Each structure stands twice: as structure tokens, then as C-alpha cells.
Amino acid sequence: MAQINLDEIAHSYLPDVQKEDEYALKRIHNIWDDGGAYALLGPSGCGKTTLLNIISGLLKPSSGRVKFGDIDVTDLPPEKRNIAQVFQFPVLYDTMTVFNNLAFPLKNRGFDKEYIDKRVREVAQILELEPFLNKRAEGLGADAKQKISLGRGLVREDVAAILFDEPLTVIDPQLKWELRCKLKEIHEKLQLTLIYVTHDQVEALTFADKIIVMYEGWIVQVGTPQELFEYPNHKFVGYFIGSPGMNFIPCTMEGDQIKVGDALIPVDKKTAALAKAAKGKLEMGIRPLYLKVSQSPDEEGFDVPVTGVEDQGSHRIISVDFQGFTLKARIAENDPIPESTARICFSKEWIRLFADEKLLK
Amino acid sequence: MKKWQDNKGWLFILPVFLIVAFSAIVPLMTVVNYSIQDIFGPGQSVFVGTEWFREVLRDQRLHEALWRQLLFSGLVLLIEMPLGIGIALLMPAKKGFGASLVLVTLALPLLIPWNVIGTIWIIFTRPDIGLMGAAINAMGLTFDHTASGLHAWITLMLMEVWHWTPLVALLAYAGLQSIPPAYYQAAKIDGASSWSIFRYIQLPKMRGVLTIALLLRFMDSFLIYAEPFVLTGGGPGNTTTFLSIYLVKIAVGQFDLGPAGAFSLIYFLIVLLFCYLFYQALLNVGGGKES
């Protein structure tokens, strides 16, 4: 129906706020497009759920306005906002049948019986809940229960956005994948705006077109999974996205080269120029995937002692000691593991520089 | 054949069995003993079979006491359960000074010894000096629970409701507190009315505690003794002679241990039967069992 416009939202759970730390959300200003699949990603306590509840109307922000399209909904209660929310734990009306659960939001809004019947059956078909329609909701599995929660949102044709608050936490891994596929399918079919809160990067990366990374009440980056991986805006994004996260080492500039300890690493001219202009604490970041462990001794790089190897199934992660800092690098399954020393190469295109935790660009 | 290991577990519950045997089963067996014998004195007893049971079951006064008792328990449950739930719904949901104050105030009647409760209400309803009795009489109505059966019943019901509704309210409150906030949030989004929230969220979620409340209140009210004994002594006439009061009259007053033993066993079975019926009914109501 409409884009979601968050206009300078800030929220604190305390009545009288003095310091910035007391805000759970600090100045969120963002516009989310109609029909997009967004993931709100961040660690516990970063304000994801607070933001979600502000959008759904369960919370009123301390300041700022929420707009759905042109309509200011900041003061509207949840039931008037045309949104649906799926919670972390399945919320069902236990004593009702699945049919009545799905029909509940429509009954409350006074639709006639025929319409309700038709609509519930349509939604049940999409969610593959037809066989359970006349069963009590209580005895079903967690995945079916979450589908019912979702269904209660889908039955309303006027629904503008469906908000998910870590909906797969209680689902078994195998079913998680199935449900995620189902969500994608529904998104493509119905073109609804979906906002999905999670602290699981895999969930976020597979679900969303765009990921909103939150950290301590701020939105630190909004981007596609690729953007987040290759150009993390903030040190936190580099660290939080990817497994293991980005390597960071404090560094200085010497001419057009990065200096770490007594090692000099060449970078391209553009990065060097940015680094020279930057103020604050300088750090170099490189993803373990792009930190190359060379097999040939001729390649330009550094010989460093290997301090640990971690087998992760499809690949292995080795830890090396570089100028007193631990770096992690990814080695493909079939490549040999260096015994005691490895030759690591920093390729210019993957080196990112951060000043005061923010990406230089 | 089950595995041998399975049987070892019995050793661990053996002590409990022994304790229960001594605390419950042995005394119960002495009652059974009384109920099938005519005892004249130590060493002088005659086996009489089911005679006492037949006598007790034919006793008109016992029938009357039983109906009286059923009416009393029924009224008590009809008043206390909805009232208790209502109070719980009105109590402050958030923790804080207000909630603590209400909780403590509610719990006060539960902390008073039962015969003291009777005494409190004797004084409270006295037509000459009691606050309630005198107030009613001052309004021009005669109120005297020692003279009128109806007034005695009203007084007893008031006392019982005052004494025990807090228990129902506290249990219901605990049940309400255990409902995760997400349920209320979902209901808000679904546009549910307050009645729907009560009917489809709060009531089903309280089912467990309400079952306990109902069973406790039924048992206690069905076995009530101390308060009516102190307040009315079973009178005026026999209007408030409940089963336990009548039982004590037979056992202690007339020292008819045989009929009293038979009576006790029947009493016990009635309570057991009703508890079973209530429990089964509440287990199934509103789809408690998984389909």
C-alpha cells in the first residue's frame, strides 16, 4: 500500500531523558519502499524490536513521526494502522480452531460470513494450512503455529506491511529453511512490505532485499547483502556480518602505504588519499575471505606464524599472528594448510580503511 | 518383561509410601474399622457389616444436611469464582507499590485463624453493638442471625465470600501475570474487543489456576466447620447444620462411632467424586485436551 516513512524517530523508555545513552533509539530517519522485503539486523538490545513496535503502533515514539505514505499514523493505535505482526513465540487463540484463529481479525472488523469464509480458505491454501482448518490450534507444531500467526495478518486485504519479530527462533532448523522459502514465495506473490527483525545474519541475508543494520540505537547501514559484505559502513557491520567477521588492525599511513607495526602494505591511490585526509583513529579492515593465503613463495606478501586452525566443514579458518595482531583467513577445503608459517597477501581491492570506526569512502 | 533397572525406582519411593501409609491410610483404616463394627468398649466389639452404612444413608437429617451443604458450596462457588476473577482483572497489572498494597490487603483475611473469623463476624453482625448488624437495624430492618435462618445464611455467605474470595483473586491474578505481553499486542493488532481478550486469551490462560481455585474452594466450602460452628453452632434450628457439624454431633455429641465412621467414609467419597467431576470437566472445557 504505502511506503513507510520514519521521520526523525527517537525513543526512550524513561520518562525524563537527559543523556543520549538513555535513548533506546537515537534519531532514526529512513524511508522504506512499498513492497520491499527488509530485515532489521543487529545484536540483542540494539533497538530492533523497539523500532518494530513503533512502526506497529504498540509504542509511541518519544519524538518524531511515523508516516505510511502520506498519512501520519504516529497517534493511531495498532488496529487502525493496517499492519500485522508475527511475534517471536507463536501467539494463538488456543481454544479456537485454526479456521477461527484466521477469521478472528476479520470477525472483529465486522465482515460478513461469506467473505470471511472465502478469505480464510484462500489464505489457508497459500500457507498450506487447509488440512488443519477444523483442528484446534493448540495441538499443532511450532511451524504451523507461526504460519497461523502470519495468516492472521494475511487475511486482511488492507494490510500494508507485515512485521516479524524474530519469528523463527522456536522453529527447528530444517523447518526454518522451509518457512523462509514460504515467506519469500508469499512476498513475491502478494507484494507486501515485509519487515523482519532478527539477530541471525543468515536469516537476514537470505530473506531480505535490503538489510538495515542497527547498533546501539542507530541505523548504521542500509544496503543489499553484497553492499554490507563488501563495503561495511561501520566497523560494527564488518564485524557483525560474515563468519568470522572482518579482521581489524590499527594502522598508520606512511606515504602511500599502510603501516602496521613495521610492516608496510601498499594500497591504491584513492584509498591512500582518503586515509591522509581522514581524522581520528585509523584502522585497516579486511575480510577473512579476501585475505589470501598464498601457496607460492614468490608472491608479494608476509610470512607469518600460524596460531590455530578451525575446521568449519566446507572450509577452514586459520589464525595467524601478524605484527602482534591476530588475523583470520579462509582456506578452501582442498587447499593445503600451511604448517607453521603462512604467506599472507593483502590484495589492494579488498582493503578497507576506517577512521573512528567509520568507513572511509 | 520390563527391565530390572525399572524396578529399582520403587526403592526410592518406598519411604514416601510408608509415610503416606502412616499419615493417611492407617487413620483411614481405623475409620473403616469403626464403620463395620459395633464397639461397646475396649475388646468388646461385634462385626455388623454394612448396617451403619444403611442406617446413615436412611437418616433424614443427614439428607437435609447434604442438600444444605450442596446449596452452600454451589452458592459459594457461583459468587466467589466470578468475583475473584473480576477483582484480579481490576488489580494493577504492573508491579509497584499499588500492586503490593492490593495484594497484602487481599491476603489479610486468609491469614486469620478460622475460628477467629467466626468470632469477628459474630461481633460484626450483632444487632446491638456490631457495625453491620446495628447499621442494618438502624435502617429499620430487623437483622438477627441467631433468630432467622435466612439471616444466618446471609451472614455465613458474606463471611465465606469475604474470607475466601481473595484466594481466588490471588490465584487468578497469578494466572493473568503469566500471560506474555505479546498476546495482548497481537489481540490489539487483530482489533479484539476487551470481551474477546477476556474470553479468548485471559480465560483460557487462567484455566490451570482456576481449576485449582475451584477444587480448593469446593473442598474447603464442602468441609466447612469452624466458622459456622463458632458463628451459629448449626442453628437457628438446623438451618446451618452442615455435614461436618452434623458429623461431629454424631461422633462427639452422641458418641456413635459406628455411624460416624460410616458417615465419614461416605462424606469422603462424595468430596472425591465431586473433585473428580470438576477436574474432568475443566480439563475438557474449551478444548483443554489436544484434539
Q: Which domains are delineated in chain B?
A: 36-284 (1.10.3720.10)
Indicate if A243-359 has the same CATH topology as A4-238: no
Question: What is the pLDDT tens value at each position of chain A, 361 positions in all?
Answer: 578 888 888 888 887 777 777 788 888 888 888 888 888 888 888 888 888 888 888 888 888 888 888 888 888 888 888 888 888 888 888 888 899 989 998 998 888 899 998 989 988 888 888 888 888 888 888 888 888 988 888 888 888 888 888 888 888 888 888 888 888 888 888 888 888 888 888 888 888 888 998 888 888 888 888 888 889 988 888 888 888 889 999 888 888 888 888 888 888 888 888 888 888 888 889 998 888 888 777 777 888 888 888 888 888 888 988 888 888 988 887 788 877 888 888 888 888 888 888 888 7
- From A53, A139, A153, residue closest to B291, measured CB to CB: A139
Maximum CA extent, chain B: 79
Per DSSP, what are the bridge partners of residue A253?
A: A258
Instruction: Provide the residue ranges of all domains of chain A, joining segments of one domain with +.
Output: 4-238, 243-359
Comparing CB atoms, the residue among A84, A95, A108 nearest residue B193 is A108
Among A296, A220, A265, smallest CA distance to A47 is for A220
**Cβ(A357)–Cβ(A236) under 8 Å?**
yes
Contact residues, chain B, for A93 at CB < 8 Å: 200-201, 204
Q: What local confidence, expressed as pLDDT, does residue A296 receive?
A: 74
Q: How many other C-beta atoms can be found within 10 angstroms of the C-beta atom of residue B97? A: 8
CB contact under 8 A, A56 and B189: yes
**pLDDT of res. B289:** 42
Q: In CATH, which superfamily holds the domain spanning A4-238?
A: P-loop containing nucleotide triphosphate hydrolases (3.40.50.300)
- A104 vs B contacts (CB less than 8 Å): 190, 192, 196, 200
| C-alpha cell belonging to residue A17 | 531523558
Q: Which residues of B touch A96 (CB under 8 A)?
A: 200
Cβ-Cβ pairs closer than 8 A, A with B, add up to: 65
Cβ contact, residue pair B188, A104, below 8 Å: no
User: A-chain residues within 8 Å CB-CB of B94?
Assistant: none
Q: Are B156 and B241 in contact (CB under 8 A)?
A: no
Strands A83-86 and A161-165 turn out to be: parallel
Measure Cα distances from A321 to A284, A290, A344, A352, B23 in Å: 15, 17, 11, 20, 72
Q: How far apart are CA A17 and CA A14, in angstroms?
A: 6
Bridge partners, A330 (sequence order): A317
- Cell numbers for A128, please give them: 498450506
**Closest CB from B180, B193, B200 relative to A95:** B200
Q: What is the pLDDT along chain B (291 residues), one digit of tens a residue?
A: 455 566 777 888 899 989 988 888 888 888 888 888 887 777 777 888 788 888 888 888 888 888 999 999 999 999 999 999 999 999 888 888 888 898 899 999 999 888 888 888 888 888 888 888 888 888 888 777 777 888 888 888 999 999 999 999 999 999 999 999 889 988 988 888 899 999 899 998 898 899 889 999 998 899 888 888 888 877 787 888 888 888 888 888 777 888 888 888 888 999 999 889 988 888 777 554 433
Task: List residues in chain A touching B: CB distance below 8 A.
Answer: 53, 56, 58, 77-79, 83-85, 87-89, 91, 93-96, 104-105, 108-109, 135-136, 138-139, 149, 152-153
Query: Strand pairing of A71-72 and A63-68?
Result: antiparallel
Nearest by CB: A91 against B182, B196, B287: B182
Report the alpha-carbon distance of residue A171 to residue A102 in Å, rounded.
20
Residue B191 to residue A83, Cβ atoms within 8 A: no
Instruction: Identify the burial level of A142 via C-beta atoms within 10 angstroms of its C-beta, where 0-12 means exposed, 13-18 middle and 19 or more buried.
Output: middle
Q: Do B201 and A138 touch (CB under 8 A)?
A: no
Report chain B residues whose CB lies below 8 A from the CB of A139: 290-291
φ, ψ of residue B188 in degrees (nearest 5): -60, -50
**Which CATH architecture group holds A243-359?**
Beta Barrel (2.40)
Helix residue spans in chain B (DSSP H) = 4-20, 26-35, 51-58, 60-90, 97-107, 114-124, 131-138, 149-177, 181-189, 194-197, 203-205, 207-222, 226-231, 243-248, 257-284
Cα distance between residue B52 and residue B101, in whole Å: 53
Q: Rounded to two decimals, what is the model's pTM?
A: 0.77
> In sequence order, what are the residues at sequence separation of 6 or more whose Cβ sits closer than 8 angstroms to the Cβ of residue A144?
A129, A132
In three-state secondary structure terms, A171 is coil
**Of A193, A210, A164, which Cα lies nearest the Cα of A4?**
A193
Q: Which of B179, B183, B190, B283 to mutate to test the interface with A (most CBs of A within 10 A)?
A: B190
**What is the least distance, in Å, from the CA of B100 to any CA of chain A?**
22
Measuring CA to CA, which residue among B239, B257, B191 is closest to residue B35? B257
Residue B171 pLDDT? 93
What is the rounded CA–CA span in Å between residue B258 and residue B184? 58
